[in-house]
Structure 1
Amino acid sequence: MRTEGDINLSPERRRWQDANLSEAALDVLEEDSRYFVHQSMSTPCLNVITNAEGIYLEDMDGRKYMDFHGNSVHQVGYKNKYVIDAMKAQLDEMPFLPRRFTNPIAIRLAKKLAELAPGDLNKVLFTPGGTSAIGMALKLARRATGRFKTISTWDSFHGAGLDAISVGGEGVFRNGIGPLLPGTEHMMPYNSYRCFIGDADGMRSLDYLAYMLEREGDVGAIIMEPIRSTDVQIPPKAYFKRLRELCDRHGVLLILDEIPTAFGRTGTMFVHEHYDIVPDIVVIGKGFGGGVFPIAGIIAREGLDIAQDISLGHYTHEKSSVGCAAALATIEYIERNGLLEHAVRMEGVMERRLTAMKERHEAIGDIRVKGMLAAIELVTDRVTKEKAVEEAEKVLYLCMERGLSFKVASGNVLTLVPPLIASQEELEWAMDTIEDAIIDIFCK
């Protein structure tokens, strides 16, 4: 089953490359394929990009693509001058900080996160990547609870490290690897309505979780995305309210993975703000570094600062002065330019447009929107929800030909992740382009 993304070895992709790329670009792709280890969804690569600026990518043949994918790092756009200027200034002042020492910019960033996060989420720890941040959260949960078992959901993604794929639930990362981290139990996602007919709000899946917690008895943490970014699954508030209650009742820590969605993507700085709960640990990354610098981390509750005698992370670039400058500048840019408010306004625009598209086209089985994060689910039959997998891939490449890039998730979900700086006019153009492609693929 396809869950995470589009496939990089499909005949459709090869046809698109042959029809759209120059011989020079194909030669570069061949050289890339020669030297990089091949892996699903990555190498061999799709195209050769030579520039990224604002909301656009530009390839070596001079074509520009509005990037509604961006690996979820480009909230403030590419080449954001405010972020890059902050990094340049820090490079001139202090480019690297060895462990054992601190620096003012790291403290300013930590203080800012503590001010932004609700409740007593006021202790932070940084790391170069999201996968390692997940690892730190898991280690902290073990130390705090004395339990090693976790519960996460099938089809989830929490990173590519061995510990992260153990709690993750996607076959493309787990299959054929061998023994994974022990005690990593899984449950169905909230939207498993195919398992529980009529369970639109996911409460029956939480009934199963309650059963697991009673039966296992030694679960230390539950980890999940508050909104699954890959195919934009959006649980209702009641789901997370009950989840928080279950965790409290059983002494289980709630870890929310907001790596791809924090910092404005859904119209709030943190996604869990929509649910009026305070998790025990929030994991952040991707857009945290302003689309320039790889930096991630955890934000934990005050009472979880209990691991002084072990190293939860201790990474070489743990308090990177340059990374912290980029992250702080990213947050400041979002605040000073009203991007949270803009994302809320654009949610209304996208929801209106996509709802109208669904009414016009039987091929659209569902649309889901939160802030500037949206999904269009393509089906061959609305009643059976049969996935339009081949058609979705064709829609993707037709849109690429016309200058729009996005992600296909779960085989049939067009996932739109526009930069927060995208204007209403740019969003309207993108949705026009997608609708035209759906017409061309399904109606001709």
Structure 2
Amino acid sequence: MDTKKVHLRAEGDLNTTEERLRWEQRNEHPATKDLLNRDKAVFFHQALSTPCLGVVVSAKGSEITLTDGRTLLDFHGNYIHHAGFAHPAITKAVKEQIDLLSFSTRRYTNEPAIRLAEKLTRLSPSLNRLLFAPGGAEAISMALKIARVVTGRHKTVSLWDSFHGATLDTASVGGEATFRQHIGPLMPGTEHAPPPNPAECPFRCGSTCNSSCADYVEYILEKEGDVSAVVAETIRSSPFIPPKEYWKKVRAACDRHNALLILDEIPHALGRTGRMFTFQHYEIEPDMVVIGKGLGGGLIPFAAVLGRDSFNVKIREHSLGHFTHEKSPVAAAAALALLQVIEEENLLDHVNRMHIAAMQKMREIQMNHPVVSDVRGLGLMLGLELRNPESGEKALDEAERVMYRSMELGLNFKLSMGNIINLTPPMNVTEEELSKAFSIIHQSLLEVS
């Protein structure tokens, strides 16, 4: 493996490695091979998508079914399957809305969009205005523009290894090389700080984050003097889970230096961590939060930026989110149905119970496999980190082989940072499904070791 390209693996496993080639050679089902070749013939090739792993023909609950007939537990799902794939209540709501009103022409509003906005803005004390967008990157873009208009400044502070989208502006505030390299000048004024990741902390904080990286965020705010906003993921989806003190320090630093705090919760807001907003674990309130992914109920691309009512006066004369499908009644119906499912099925409580079960399973795996250097999770944002037990270096080859073997045994997940098994099951995953998934990981680790 080319260790010089480790930094390109931050957001996911690459399709350019030798292990991927071996995977393709082992899986040559005729129908699958034909469709993958057709896919390769028409789509631009990218390191994180085409050429693809396989071909999905159906998805329901926690599972996906492939053209070769195999069914896999999907503990990736691109973070969209909060209530599982094709939840009957959500699909029913979408079908009914399509028959009633499928699109809302610009300059008009519609009742589903209004109802959804009312529900979302009641979820926190201070985030009581919002804008909708077709996707998370567009919502981040709106948040950046709102920050400029509200503060009169343009600079930002964000974190290395972060992901906020693949558009030029979101890649500029993002911190992953795979989206930033070799594309020319990025947005000016986008400063970066190290993330709260003790395993690779430049401040040598040890095995536990001591929030020195939060102090460095304030150092940048002070030296620059005119930063509009700190933009960061509340927890990194790998996951990196900062201590409570980290966000309390950053919140206070933003207040002292008149910078806004924008939190990106696109992958995990609306319950994946056991709270409706992940920042609620940290007892802070951001000035804006961006949500998406699961907001569309696993069916419709949809996102939103929520912010303070006081911003409304300053942005009144601007057009910050001029999207064709901004107030999509179909997407709003899906989101309303998702919120109802979360409430009626008590999914927040369920997530917290499954978190306890998952952490126990992961700790058992760690005890039995020295290559597993750390396990961590918040709700059902879960990760197992693989490092060489002797050198402490990232176990990149082992992690990739574990991933491909797990897929052969019936479990789909992605790798983050090259060596972290990133698990994000649906919020309504069963304990039996969790047990099956961790049994597969255990077996794969045994075979790889």
The TM tier, using the shorter chain, reads over 0.9
Q: CA deviation at 1:263?
A: 1.2
Partner of 2:403: 396
Partner of 2:341: 333
Give the Cα–Cα distance (whole angstroms) in 1 for the partners of residues 169 and 201 of structure 2: 29
- Equivalence for 2:47: 40
1:166-205 CA-to-partner distances (Å, cap 9, x unmatched) read 0001000010000111101101111255412235324211
Which digits, 9 at most, give the CA deviation of each residue in 1:17-63, with x for residues without a partner? Answer: 22233122111101100000111110111101111111111111111
Picking from 129, 132, 137, the partner of 1:126 is 132
- Distance apart, 1:16 and its partner CA: 1.8
CA distance in 1, matches of 2:222, 2:171: 25
Q: What secondary structure is seen at the aligned counterpart in 1 of 2:41?
A: helix
Aligned-pair Cα RMSD in Å: 1.1
Alpha-carbon distance in 2 for matches of 1:210, 1:380: 34
- 1:176 corresponds in structure 2 to 182
Tell me the TM-score normalised to structure 1 length.
Answer: 0.97
Do 1:6 and 1:407's aligned partners in 2 also have CA atoms closer than 8 Å?
A: yes
1:27 to 34, 37, 43: 34
Q: Secondary structure at the match of 2:290?
A: strand
Q: Match for residue 4 of structure 2?
A: none
Aligned length: 439
**Which of 415, 422, 435 is 1:415 aligned to?**
422
Give the drift of 1:114. 1.1
CA distance in 2 between counterparts of 1:83 and 1:194 reads 42
**Cα displacement (A) at 1:418:** 0.4
In structure 2, the partner of 1:157 is 163
Q: Which amino acid aligns with 1:405?
A: N
The answer to whether 1:104 aligns with 2:111 is yes
Is the contact between residue 202 and residue 235 of structure 1 (CA under 8 Å) also seen in structure 2? no
- Determine the structure 2 residue equivalent to 1:81: 88
Correspondent of 1:56 among 50, 58, 63? 63
CA distance in 1 between partners of 2:211 and 2:378 (Å) = 21
C-alpha separation between the residues in 1 aligned to 2:392 and 2:328?
A: 47
1:376 correspondence with 2:404:
no
Amino acid in structure 1 at the alignment position of 2:150: A
Q: Residue 18 in 1 paired to residue 37 in 2?
A: no
1:247 and 2:254 are equivalent in the alignment: yes
- Give the deviation of 1:235 after TM superposition: 0.4
2:321 is equivalent to residue 295 of structure 1: no
* Distance in structure 2 (CA, Å) of the matches to 1:372 and 1:294: 22
Q: Secondary structure at the match of 1:142?
A: helix
- Residue number in structure 1 paired with 2:154: 148
Separation of aligned partners in 2, 1:64 and 1:14: 22
**Is the 8 Å Cα contact of residues 6 and 408 (structure 1) preserved in structure 2?**
yes
What is the deviation of 1:417? 0.5
1:282 equivalenced with 2:303 (yes/no):
no
Normalising by the residue count of structure 2, what TM-score does the alignment of the two structures yield? 0.96
Structure 2 residue 224 is matched with structure 1 residue 207: no
Q: What's the secondary structure of 1:190's corresponding residue?
A: coil
Deviation at 1:73, TM superposition (A): 0.3
- Helix, strand or coil at the partner of 2:157: strand
Letter of the 1:106 partner, please give it.
A
| Structure 1 residues 321-354: Cα deviation after superposition (integer angstroms, max 9, x where no partner) | 1011011111111111011100000110011111
CA distance in 1, matches of 2:91, 2:54: 26
Shift of 1:79: 0.9
Matched with 2:362 is 354
Question: 1:228 maps to which residue?
Answer: 236
Q: Does 1:217 align with 2:222?
A: no
- The whole-number CA distance in structure 1 between the counterparts of 2:416 and 2:343 is 30
Contact 1:368 1:376 (C-alpha < 8 Å) held by counterparts: yes
Contact 1:191 1:202 in 2 (8 A): no
Once the two structures are superposed, residues 353-401 of structure 1 have per-residue CA deviations (whole angstroms, 9 ceiling, x without a partner) of 111221222110100111111100011126x421110111100111100
Deviates more, 1:193-202 or 1:432-441: 193-202
Q: Deviations over 1:244-282 (max 9, x none)?
A: 100111111000000001111101111001001110000
What's the counterpart of residue 426 of structure 1? 433
SS of residue in 1 equivalent to 2:21:
helix
Answer whether contact 2:267 2:292 (CA < 8 A) is retained: yes
Partner of 2:3: none
Unaligned runs of 5+ in 2: 1-6
My pick for the range that moved more, 305-314 or 146-155, is 305-314
Structure 1 unaligned segments of length 5 or more: list them. none
Match of 1:315 among 292, 314, 323: 323
SS in 2 for 1:121: coil
SS at the partner of 1:240?
helix
Helix, strand or coil: the match of 2:93? helix
